[in-house]
Structure 1
Amino acid sequence: MLLSRGCRTSSYFLSFDKGARLEIMHNDAIPATANDPMAQFTGLIHMAMSVGSEQGVDALTARLANDGYNVVDGPRRTGDGYYESVVLDPEGNRLEITL
């Protein structure tokens, strides 16, 4: 299902019976290199976890920041209505914390 389409971005979500979802996203502005861990790149971009509430997003983001993890975005409301933050794990993978 196409959820958002701008001049440069489109997302499709596949939903599974147990509640998991897979997002397939296209964005013309994403470079093909992973040389900058703060920037998005092609390939596997992030893993996301739902914590159930905006307060949960805020609390887990604050805890991870306090523990020394790099918060690269948020918490914030995205253009497509999600409330989320993005934190880098120790290997530089993007972990999205959402509702």
Structure 2
Amino acid sequence: MKLEHIAIWTRDLEGLKTFYVDYFEATASQKYTNEAKGFSSYFLAFDGEARIELMQNKSIPDCTNDPYQQATGLTHMAISVGSEYAVDNLTERLKADGYEVLDGPRRTGDGYYESVVLDPENNRIEITA
């Protein structure tokens, strides 16, 4: 078995797609639109097999979770950028571009080298080596 994809509801479909394409080298599919349901989406592919589906529908309510507090349920996704050097560089680039870095870069107790940042819609991303 393998993880095929995770899905994220978004208010700004084009903006979130651009974020993952620009900073994480994702390749976006053609936009899918279902006018009858008011639904649009993109699949984002990375070097590995797992993908992210970005979805937009105006009827979906805003998330009420506080991005600064941990809670049960899906809490973050980790994207490996290949090296500690790449973690440092991407973290600095995101910070310089105004994105919030919540933690790191640092080595965790279980040996990961990572930083934690928020994407434009406050989803937590672990950037790992």
Shorter-chain TM-score bucket reads 0.5 to 0.7
Amino acid at match of 2:105: P
Superposed CA deviations along residues 42-93 of structure 1, whole A, max 9, x for unmatched, are 1111111111110000000000001100000000000100000000111111
SS in structure 2 at match of 1:55: helix
> What is the RMSD computed on CA atoms of the aligned residues?
2.2
Residues 28-48 of structure 1 show CA distances to partners (whole Å, capped at 9, x for unaligned) of xxxxxx643112211111111
Quick one: structure 1 residues 19 and 59, their matched pair in 2 at CA, closer, same or farther if it must change by over 3 Å? same
Within 5 A, what are the aligned runs for 1:55-70? 55-70=85-100
Structure showing greater Rg: 2
TM-score (norm 1): 0.64
Residues of 1 paired with 2:101 and 2:127: CA distance? Answer: 11
Structure with a larger share of its residues in strand: 1
Q: Kindly indicate which of the two structures has a greater share of residues assigned to helix.
A: 2
Runs of 4+ in 1 over 6 A off after TM superposition: none
From 27, 36, 46, the counterpart of 2:76: 46
Q: Where does structure 2 lack aligned partners over 5 or more consecutive residues? A: 4-46, 51-63
What is the aligned counterpart of 2:101 among 71, 89, 99?
Answer: 71
- The number of residues matched between the two structures is 73
Q: Distance in 2 between matches of 1:49 and 1:35?
A: 22
- In 2, Cα distance between equivalents of 1:78 and 1:39: 19
TM-score by length of structure 2 reads 0.50
